[in-house]
Amino acid sequence: MQIYYALKERIESGAYPVGQLLPSENTLLEEFGCSRNTVRRAVAGLVRDGYVQTRQGWGVCNIYQPIEASAYTMGTIESFAETTRRTGQDSATQVALFTACAADDDLARRTGFAPGTELFYLQRIHTIDGIPRILNHSYFRRDCMPGLTKEIAEGSIYRYLEQELHMSIVTSKRTITVERADALDRRFLTLEEYNCLAVVTSQTYNSDGILFEYTQSRHHPSIFRFQDNAVRTPAGHADARKRIANHTEL
Amino acid sequence: MQIYYALKERIESGAYPVGQLLPSENTLLEEFGCSRNTVRRAVAGLVRDGYVQTRQGWGVCNIYQPIEASAYTMGTIESFAETTRRTGQDSATQVALFTACAADDDLARRTGFAPGTELFYLQRIHTIDGIPRILNHSYFRRDCMPGLTKEIAEGSIYRYLEQELHMSIVTSKRTITVERADALDRRFLTLEEYNCLAVVTSQTYNSDGILFEYTQSRHHPSIFRFQDNAVRTPAGHADARKRIANHTEL
DNA sequence: GCCGATTTGTCCGTATGTATC
DNA sequence: CGATACATACGGACAAATCGG
């Protein structure tokens, strides 16, 4: 990770010319005093994050482009918290509903919880500079967070889970869609002329590998932005074609 | 990749119980007759794609969940082509505009091309079962594809690039947003009651590391879906927190 | 509460294959 | 054709986390 950050820093600061090759792996391993394996893992991270591109027999090419919007971290949503932190705006969370329930068959199918699982169901609204921007529908496994209260939910549930319960979050599966605004969206969010929202559905697993959260985040379109980087698997790998199917054609 | 696919196949077919540990790396390397490093790379791929989760001192945990929607490939857009191929629907591409232009300062800033770069500008509409679903605004570097014609664009530009020009596509940077429909969207797409679209903006690089395409794909909300998987970087790494910022809170 | 076996995380040095120029 | 570059693989070593006795 140190090498990854060192190289990333250099690329962002323009130490390596854009569109040209970085020093070869052999040069880098000498400079950093490590094995080739370690250099390669650092470079693989830069490829994943869209900073460089490698080609066998050629080298590692710098494709960094500091366009306005690409200051965000790859593969993450420019979320409520990040936006406000970046712009220094004011933010708050309000809990509209806090109840306990159990997963019936329909809910189980939608969320991925086993039928009968005891859950908390929360509706929360995030506001930024006083304007409601995100409406969250969340289901949490009750047995993973026995002491959860409305007061905690007003603050940060994740801080509670990690710092109080020492739970660690590991994996989150997300799906992004666009949906028509429903009555609840209109009631809580200031949608103005929009009649749709960006909807992020996520299933989150803790370090024991159990699904403990299902959340649907309904974002005001004007503040929603998601960045991603797709890399073609090298030729010869069986799924070479699938990983760059972002072009809506074939 | 063979090991990756073998394990993936087993997981999908239920050969390993969900929520439990896979055989240890030492067991797997004996079975597959390879080194530990190779097994680990296969497992890393499964982690990236949300099939398993690893924990030091514990093992590799199967978190596969075949809920309806998760049949799509991770990290890719369920695009026009994929949707139609999967559902067996009828699809077609129509070129509404095919012109040459050069990047002025404003276009250069938006697209990432150097000012003055000579480009093709295309507007294309993808229809599925006769219904227009996606409107593409594309800019291509003219010097990368000198023989491009409207006829080729009616078919597959990528097939032309790869099979005729032997160009290979490597990296694509994407941003997903939701935007209000404009006059062009309304003219070409059947938006019905929707007044927004899912917009995927992508910059694509060829194997020489040069940006050769900038495309804005404007998707009908009802057919848009994007899947992703976020993995927490192990503790101790400097960016541990940033990679799982999908929860719209803090 | 400590110890030891097990398991993943990290790293090294070396070797060979393959694409590029 | 050869030098150089990245791609892949092996085998070994030690660290760190987990878990049971």
Q: Does pLDDT of A167 surpass 80?
A: no
Q: Does pLDDT of B242 surpass 80?
A: no
Residues in chain B within 8 Å Cβ distance of A79: 245-249
Which two tokens mark A64?
A: 């960094």
- Write the pLDDT tens digit of every residue in A109-141: 999 999 999 999 999 999 888 899 999 999 999
- Write the pLDDT tens digit of every residue in B173-192: 989 999 999 999 999 999 98
Q: How far is B30 from chain A (nearest CA, A)?
A: 23
Residues of chain A numbered 57-116 and touching chain B (CB < 8 Å):
61-63, 65, 67-70, 73, 75-77, 79-82, 93, 109, 112
Closest CB to B79: pick one of A207, A217, A245.
Answer: A245
Say what percent of chain A tops pLDDT 90: 60
A234: which nucleotide lies closest, measuring CA to C1'? D7
What's the confidence (pLDDT) of residue A85? 67
What's the confidence (pLDDT) of residue B167? 67
B56: which nucleotide lies closest, measuring CA to C1'? C8
Residues in chain A within 8 Å Cβ distance of B63: 171, 205, 209, 211
Q: How far is A116 from chain B (nearest CA, A)?
A: 17
Closest CB to A248: pick one of B75, B81, B221.
Answer: B81
With CA atoms as reference, the chain B residue closest to A179 would be B221
CA angle centred on A229, ends A225 and A231, rounded to 5°: 160
Which two tokens mark B141?
A: 């570097």
What are the angstrom distances between the C-alpha of B70 and each of A50, B121, B177? Answer: 25, 35, 22
The secondary element (H helix, E strand) that includes residue A44 is helix A36-48
Residue keyed to tokens 């074609």: A241
Residue A80 in 3-state DSSP?
A: helix
Say what percent of chain A tops pLDDT 70: 81
Give pTM, 2 decimals: 0.86
Say what percent of chain B tops pLDDT 70: 81
Instruction: Between B238 and B155, name the one with better pLDDT.
Output: B155
Q: Are A151 and A164 in contact, with CB atoms under 8 Å apart?
A: no
Distance A35 CA to C11 C1' (A): 8
- Write the pLDDT tens digit of every residue in B72-86: 444 555 556 666 766
